[in-house]
Amino acid sequence: MNILVVRTDKLGDFITALPTMYVLKHHNPKNRIIACVAPMNKTLAQTCDFIDEVIVDSGQSISSLASELRALKIDASITLFSNTRIALAQFLARIPIRIAPATKIAQIFYTHRVKQRRSEVKMAEFEYNLELTKTLFGDINLVYKKPLLEFEDAKNIYKVFCINNEIEKDVIAFHVGFGGSSDANWNLNEYEELIHSVLIENKYQVVLTFGPDEKELYEEMQGRFMAYNVVFYFSQDSITYFAKLISNFKLFVSTSTGTYHLASLVGTPTMTFFGDTLFASSKRWKAVGDEKFQEHFMIPLSKDARDKMFKDVKKKLAAI
Query: Amino acid letter at 36?
Result: C
If asked whether residues 302 and 187 sit together in one domain, one would say: yes
**The model's pTM:** 0.95
Residue 140 lies in a domain: no
Question: Any idea what the CATH number is for the domain that residue 50 is in?
Answer: 3.40.50.2000
If asked whether residues 102 and 162 sit together in one domain, one would say: no
If asked whether residues 110 and 173 sit together in one domain, one would say: no
User: Is the pLDDT assigned to residue 184 strictly greater than 90?
Assistant: no
How many domains would you assign to the chain?
A: 2
Residue 110 lies in a domain: yes
If asked whether residues 117 and 33 sit together in one domain, one would say: yes
pLDDT at 65: 98
Say what percent of the chain tops pLDDT 70: 98
User: Is the pLDDT assigned to residue 216 strictly greater than 60?
Assistant: yes
Gap between the Cα atoms of 78 and 172, Å rounded: 37
If asked whether residues 67 and 117 sit together in one domain, one would say: yes
Give me the mean pLDDT over the 22-33 stretch: 98
The C-alpha torsion from 234 through 150 and 99 to 37, rounded to 10°, is: 30
If asked whether residues 8 and 127 sit together in one domain, one would say: yes
User: Is the pLDDT assigned to residue 74 strictly greater than 90?
Assistant: yes
If asked whether residues 171 and 75 sit together in one domain, one would say: no
Query: Amino acid letter at 177?
Result: G
Q: Which of 135, 163, 193 is the last residue of a domain?
A: 135
User: Is the pLDDT assigned to residue 181 strictly greater than 50?
Assistant: no
Which range of residues forms the domain containing residue 315? 154-319
pLDDT at 183: 57
Residue 148 lies in a domain: no
178 or 157: which leads in pLDDT: 157
Gap between the Cα atoms of 135 and 41, Å rounded: 26
